[in-house]
Amino acid sequence: ERFIPLGREIRVAIVEDERGEPTIVLPATEYLLTPEHPMRVSTDKISVTDSGLPDASKFFATNHEEAPAYRRSICPCPLDEALAAKLGDAARKAHRALRCRDFSIFDFRVDPEGEVYMLECQPVCSFARQSAMTGMATKTDVPGLQYPALYHTMMRRAAARKPKPCDAAQVLGMK
């Protein structure tokens, strides 16, 4: 694969509206990259001990006081209208194409010319207070996107899709 030149790494989260359409784009997060550290790796996301195990005392590596510049993020990140539209459009199209449901999170690389490349999709996320999506949602002034309302909405949607139990009149295996 061709390496995408150092530019910006931006995370975009999509939340479906009540009709199941991916219309809600949460405030984006930018992960700061440096020429010495042009790409985020797993230990930039989750702190680990010397033995490589997750460090429970500082699990999330990003934005800790002692974190180096390349482990910092900004939310909401500064985006001009054109880039915000391009990222939102790419995220909504990917959400539909990948058949995501309820929400999705995408990491994009934006090259120096402003071209957008999708790095990855996370169709699952933690709804912990420190999680990326929860943090992005709290940057809005929409009550339904605040913690824990967003989590409760996702749980209600999933529960509504659960198959209904059989009624007493049904005889399994027979008509």
pLDDT (tens, 9 = 90+) of the chain, 175 residues, equals: 777 888 899 999 999 999 999 999 999 999 988 888 878 777 776 777 788 787 766 655 565 666 677 778 899 999 999 999 999 999 999 999 999 999 999 999 999 999 999 999 988 877 777 788 888 999 999 999 999 999 999 999 988 888 777 666 656 555 4
In contact, 29 and 77? CB cutoff 8 Å: yes
3-state helix, strand, coil in the chain (%, to 5): 30, 20, 50
Does the N-terminal peptide bond of residue 148 adopt cis geometry, omega within 30 degrees of 0?
yes
Cut 0.75: pTM above it:
yes
- The number of residues in the chain equals 175
Residue-level pLDDT at 121: 95
Cα 115 off chain centre by = 20
Radius of gyration of the chain (CA): 19
Q: How many CB atoms lie within 10 A of CB 76?
A: 14
C-alpha distances in angstroms, 123 versus 24, 105, 137, 146, 175?
15, 6, 16, 19, 39
> 1, 3, 16: which is closest to 112 by C-alpha?
3
